[in-house]
Amino acid sequence: MAWTCNSVDSLKSGHVYKNSFHTQSYWPAWYEGDTMTFEGSKLRCNATDESGEGTYWVQYFYGWGYVDNRPDFKYTGGTPTEIQNPGFKLDWAVDAEGNPVNLKQVKYIKVYNGILQQCGWLGETSTEVAGAIDLHPDAVAEVVKGDVNGDDTVDVSDVNAILNVMLGSGNYPSADVNGDGAVDVTDVNEVINIILNN
């Protein structure tokens, strides 16, 4: 299966090959088209044939911020002895243009395969995830009353967020600002009062 990529600092094209370990088709059986397009970041290839003969492939760790990058533990005599996977931090979050963003919390984390490379007899290498662990399960984000859209500021955009919920075109769990179980004009008034009193 042939592929191309427009990434700046990565391999631009290649093929995904079958081998004795992976003889299945890599093309989705449910898709009838001839081409598919995916969006996201493709990481530079991290595998090197250290033997120069295609027999000894080594995948080097990325510096930070990628799932399935390191084993979770260091092992001594086959027994896990020390955590070595630093996971990733909310401080590393960026927007679609790569600009840093300040996140107080996250609700969902999407994992997708950021690698596309061939490693000889190993075949293609890609992300494998068996689960995830919340390292701070008791952490509670500070909630600012009236900050309906979660941007750390109470302003007219929060009024708009409430109106969107009222019109059925928005989903903001903290739109019920006064806590009466309904999202209505009283919540709009509550936010306006917070703005005027700040």
Give me the tens of pLDDT residue by residue for the chain, a chain 198 residues long: 788 888 766 668 888 888 887 788 888 889 999 898 888 778 888 889 999 998 999 888 887 667 667 777 777 887 877 777 666 777 788 887 888 888 777 777 777 778 888 888 888 887 777 777 777 777 766 778 999 988 888 999 999 999 999 999 888 888 999 999 999 999 999 999 999 987
At residue 9, the pLDDT reads 63
Distance CA 5, CA 17 (A): 17
Task: Please say whether the dihedral angle defined by the alpha carbons of residues 178, 180, 183 and 188, taken in this order, is positive or negative.
Answer: negative
Contact 154, 194 (CB under 8 A): yes
Distance CA 108, CA 89 (A): 14
On whether the pTM is more than 0.75, the answer is no
Q: Partners of 79 in the beta sheet?
A: 76
Polymer length of the chain: 198
Distance CA 45, CA 41 (A): 12
Contact 93, 103 (CB under 8 A): yes
